Amino acid sequence: MIKITKRRFLFIFLAVVIFITASLLLKQEYVVPIFMYHSVREDNPEGSKLIVSPKAFEAQMRFLVKNSYNVISLTRLAKIIKEKKKIPAKTVVITFDDGYRDNFLNAKPILEKYRMPATIFIAVDLIDTKVEKSEYFVDNSQFMSMDELKSLINSEFIDLGIHTFSHEDLVKLQQQNDLIYQISDARKFLEEELNCRIDSFSYPFGSFDKRIRSIVVQSGYSVAVATNPGKDYPKDDLFALKRIRISDKDSNPFVLWVKASGFYTLLKELRDD
């Protein structure tokens, strides 16, 4: 029989207490990873972080399936948070900003193949337009047409959200009427055009403040996503959910595992501090 001295027993006891305490504290920092994509296409001569190749995107989806991640829709996550239910382990949410046509042509078939739900946030003024050169959008891009958006209404895997009318930085808008136009009227317009209900909103550039958040709430959305609003907004704020940008480089299994861990947001906030 192995004898345990008082000193050794105390050491083991303290180690267990520290381990349990650290585990509980870390658990409190867990944030459901909401992946943020933009464009999914082959050509990326400038190395834009907003572009993921179809090959890389499929590798990332395959990783999630192979490793048994629980991929759910954004509105489903919002419902779980609102009802204060336990979030299933290894939960991940997939979102796209802007409404690039390559989401329809390249991302949608892959999402359907792997049965992955996703939300695409539409900048309404960009519907059926082309962008040759832009500071904010992927160069040489085309955006989805209204007919393509209509074909997504009954999709089993794609939800649509609002990304304002014109993709302006909302914080720079001083007039309340301008904010209502970009947030509420954009929703009403697209709902009427598509004859459907839209429940989610994405802040352009991830930029917002309390007055903007308030208008989003008053407009009847059930959830809104930013990028990384920091520690001022709790992880379960349904109108300031934090997201993680995904790029081509995240096809590396270890990197993607870190970003899907639920603690990557904590690492970013510690780095920013």
The arithmetic mean of pLDDT across residues 209-234, rounded, is 90
How far is it, in rounded angstroms, from Cα 75 to Cα 67? 23
User: Quick one: 120 and 50 in the same domain?
Assistant: yes
Kindly provide the b/e burial profile for residues 37-47, where b requires at least 16 CB atoms within 10 angstroms of the residue's own CB.
Answer: bbbbbeebeee
pTM as predicted: 0.88
- 64 and 130 together in one domain: yes
pLDDT of 161 = 98
Short-list 66, 131, 118, 129, CA closest to 92: 118
Clarify whether residues 201 and 77 are in a common domain: yes
Same domain membership, residue 163 and residue 137: yes
| Statement to judge: residues 79 and 178 lie in one domain | yes
Helical spans, DSSP H, in the chain: 6-28, 54-66, 74-82, 101-102, 108-113, 146-152, 176-180, 186-194, 210-218, 253-259, 264-272
pLDDT value at position 82?
94
CATH number of the domain at 167, please. 3.20.20.370
Q: Give residue-wise pLDDT tens across range 246-267.
A: 998 898 999 999 999 998 887 6
Q: What value does the mean pLDDT of the chain take? A: 88
Plot region of 206 (φ>0 → left; ψ -120 to 50 → alpha; else → beta): left
Q: Is 168 left (phi over 0), alpha (psi -120 to 50) or beta?
A: beta
Residue 25: what pLDDT? 41
Number of domains in the chain: 2
pLDDT at 45: 76
Whether residue 24 is found in the same domain as residue 36:
no
Residue 7 is predicted with a pLDDT of 58
Res. 85: pLDDT tops 90: yes
205, 247 Cβ separation under 8 angstroms: no
Nearest to 94 by CA among 121, 56, 134: 121
Task: Average the pLDDT over 128-151 and give the result.
Answer: 94
- pLDDT tens-digit series, residues 10-33: 554 444 443 333 333 445 568 899
Phi and psi, residue 114, nearest 5° = -100, 5
pLDDT at residue 273, rounded to an integer:
54
User: Do 134 and 163 fall within a single domain?
Assistant: yes
On whether both 24 and 38 belong to a single domain, the answer is: no
Residue 9 pLDDT: 46
Do 2 and 78 lie in one domain? The reply is no
**Could you list the residue range(s) of the whole structural domain that residue 70 is in?**
32-272
In this structure, the answer to whether residues 40 and 56 fall within a common structural domain is yes
pLDDT given for residue 75 in this prediction = 96
Residue 1 has pLDDT above 50, yes or no: no
